[in-house]
Amino acid sequence: MPREIITLQCGQCGNQIGCRFWDLALREHASHNTNATFDHALSSFFRNVDTRHSPPLEIPTGTGNSPIRSLKARAVLIDMEEGVIKQLISGHLGDLFDTKQYITGNSGSGNNWAQGHEVYGPEYADDILEKIRKQVELCDSLQSFVMLHSLGGGTGSGVGSYIVELLHDAYPQVYQFSTSIFPSVDDDVVTSPYNSLLATVALAEYADCVLPIENQALLDILSQKENTRGKHSIAKGKVKGDKPFDSMNGIAANLLLHLTSSMRFEGSLNVDLNEITTNLVPYPKLHFLVSSMAPHSAFSHSGSAAQQHRAINQLFTEVFMRDNQLIKVDPTRSTYLACALLMRGNGCTISDLHQNVARIKHRLTMVSLPHATKSFRGSLLCGT
């Protein structure tokens, strides 16, 4: 049974991340699906339609794989300025979307949470719910909504938090994941701290799981990569050969791909998205998770068995380093309620996982059992 995810891109930052996300998702599925057939993995993020009909005819996946005709993203794009969405629609990814999937304005929210939440949110509420409803009706087994937005601007914080509230009321049984970008300390928008605080209140109240990402953490990761290569340090997320913030958006997009890979592709130790929240969220409002990735670039499994073994050990060590975290905390000085490790690839065995979990667990301070609830215990989970 396919399990679908509807992605909601809100604001300039959310749609820029979405642009990188859909590009990377297509590349990932192309590398796994060399036969160019529409399978259950593809159906999580995409629909397969036959454009020879008007309106385009939906091709069911059935029990087997069907040939790919034309892929359409399971997404709704919202921005109170039309610039970014217009570029996305007119670019090489434009065929993934149609006019029924995006909502744009003309004036923007002026970097003001209240303008987005109290003005544009109620004004576009019916239109937003209608477009989401159409995407929901095209799903056989809807798994969750995923919000991509920044909390520093007016649309991402204001309209984004308003949509989270709408979905909580309209689809209370569907999980809501939010990938939220928090502004850096030297953000040049004077209202960004206020926007972030006001939006966080709604995320704490209505979202099921939030993956906060700091702009400063993304900048530090890219700066570290550039320094390792011996190049000049970057400024404001611009890497040589890339568009501004393109590499930063790529890291955030990769986080979502890694998180959902376990439900999209087959594997003996796979876990569902809902299982992640069940094990990592002890109380309804305590659902802000610290994310970390290692490596941030492609990982090669070539080399001898000894080299692979050392590389896997290094990955387990690096993922708990502060330099690899997408929100800055000190893992060695923190107490973990729970921890989940999601491994991708074929370069490790079950014994490697157990060995490294046992090694890392002694370095972490997990919550003590007497203070944990009966249904929730401090634990270190691992899956592939």
Task: Return the residue matching tokens 């949509």.
Answer: 163
DSSP state string for 110-162:
TT-HHIIIIIIHHHHHHHHHHHHHHHHHT-SSEEEEEEEEESSSHIIIIIHHH
If you write DSSP's letter for every residue of 55-69 in order, what string do you get?
SPEE----SS-EE--
| Token pair recorded at residue 85 | 């969405």
CB count within 10 Å of CB 234 equals: 19
How far is Cα 145 from Cα 10, in angstroms, rounded to an integer? 13
Q: Cα–Cα distance between 98 and 103 in angstroms, integer?
A: 11
Contact 339, 230 (CB under 8 A): no
- Residue 180 CA to residue 78 CA, distance in Å, equals 15
Q: In whole angstroms, what is the distance from residue 346 CA to residue 174 CA?
A: 32
Q: Which residues contact 188 (CB under 8 A, 6 or more apart)?
A: none
Q: Which tokens belong to 153?
A: 């601007």
137 is catalytic: no
Cβ atoms of 340 and 361 within 8 Å: the answer is no
Residue 214: name the closest of 250, 244, 181 by CA.
181
Q: Distances from the Cα of 376 to the Cαs of 183, 205, 259, 283, in angstroms?
A: 32, 21, 21, 9
Q: Which of 214, 226, 275, 318 is catalytic?
A: 275
Catalytic residues: 275
